[in-house]
């Protein structure tokens, strides 16, 4: 499985990463959502470089211009609710893509132990298409595995791009092991070193869903 860590090369992406991490800035939920969207736009652009293209002839007022355009059927999916702003960034660039949504959540047994449940899925057929799964925080990797398994009930995609903003080293290792031999590419804006006892990424940024939409019960 190929792993693309976009923070290995300096770009304006670093500016948005700084703002979503910073406790001095991230309290502005509207700015947090917009920065997540911007990171999604940048990552969509990077992913677009790896897609298949076909040449189309476009008529202009003065003649015919050959233009290379994407030749893949794309489905952009996300895990509710934290993934919505990130997903919107992808949709701004892949504006003709179909969309899929998965509701996955942690159900805690006690303060430290939890199971992950998939409660809801809405998706078009994925058969033979390019699937982009967007999830801003890849902590353990287990929710991504479950979400992908749920999406497979809608067909087998030709290629899968897993897109995240911040991944832990543990999650990257987990994804590599459980997606081994599959046509999967992982894209991330940063890889953080560890998880705490609650399986939150350290240093991470906190709870992306709460920062985007407010605290939940």
The enclosing domain of 29 has a CATH number of: 3.40.50.2020
pLDDT at 115: 55
Sign, Cα dihedral of 70, 94, 31, 43: negative
Count of domains observed in the chain: 1
Between CA 201 and CA 169 the distance in angstroms is 9
Q: pLDDT: is 163 or 114 the higher one?
A: 163
pLDDT at 13: 97
Cis bond before residue 203 (omega within 30° of 0): yes
pLDDT in tens, 20-65: 999 999 999 999 999 999 999 999 999 999 999 999 999 999 999 9
Of residues 49, 53, 90, the one with CA closest to residue 68: 53
Residue that is written with structure tokens 């893509």 in the block: 97
Angstrom distances, CA of residue 167 to CA of 113, 204, 212: 20, 8, 18
DSSP code per residue over 110-156: SSS-EEEEEEEEE----TTSEEEEE-SEESSSHHHHHHHHHHGGG--
Between CA 7 and CA 9 the distance in angstroms is 5
Token reading at 63: 């003649």
Of residues 184, 216, 213, 215, the one with CA closest to residue 29: 213
pLDDT at 6: 97
60 lies in which domain range?
2-213
Cis bond before residue 92 (omega within 30° of 0): no
76 confidence band (pLDDT: 50, 70, 90): very high
pLDDT in tens, 89-138: 999 999 999 999 998 765 655 544 545 567 788 999 999 999 999 999 99
Q: Are strands 98-108 and 114-122 parallel, antiparallel or unpaired?
A: antiparallel
Between CA 184 and CA 141 the distance in angstroms is 14
Q: Mean pLDDT, to the nearest integer, of 189-194?
A: 97
From the number of C-beta atoms within 10 Å of its C-beta (0-12, 13-18, 19+), residue 97 rates as: buried
């Amino acid at each position: 499985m190929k792993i693309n860590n976009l923070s290995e090369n300096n770009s304006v992406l670093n500016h948005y990463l700084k703002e979503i991490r910073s406790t001095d800035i991230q309290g502005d939920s509207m700015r947090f959502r917009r920065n997540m969207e911007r990171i999604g736009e940048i990552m969509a652009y990077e992913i677009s470089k790896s897609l298949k293209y076909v040449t189309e002839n476009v008529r202009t007022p003065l003649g015919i211009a050959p233009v290379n355009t994407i030749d893949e059927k794309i489905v952009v999916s996300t895990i509710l609710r934290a993934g919505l702003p990130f997903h919107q960034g992808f949709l701004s660039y892949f504006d003709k893509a179909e969309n899929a949504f998965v509701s996955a959540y942690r159900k805690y047994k006690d303060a430290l132990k939890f199971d992950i449940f998939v409660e809801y899925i809405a998706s078009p057929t994925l058969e033979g298409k390019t699937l982009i799964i967007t999830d801003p925080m890849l902590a353990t990797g287990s929710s991504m595995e479950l979400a992908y398994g749920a999406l497979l009930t809608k067909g087998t995609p030709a290629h899968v791009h897993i897109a995240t903003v911040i991944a832990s080293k543990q999650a990257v290792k987990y994804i590599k092991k459980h997606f081994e031999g599959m046509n999967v590419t992982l894209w991330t804006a940063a890889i953080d070193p560890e998880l705490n006892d609650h399986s939150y990424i350290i240093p991470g940024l906190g709870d992306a869903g709460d920062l985007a939409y407010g605290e939940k019960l």
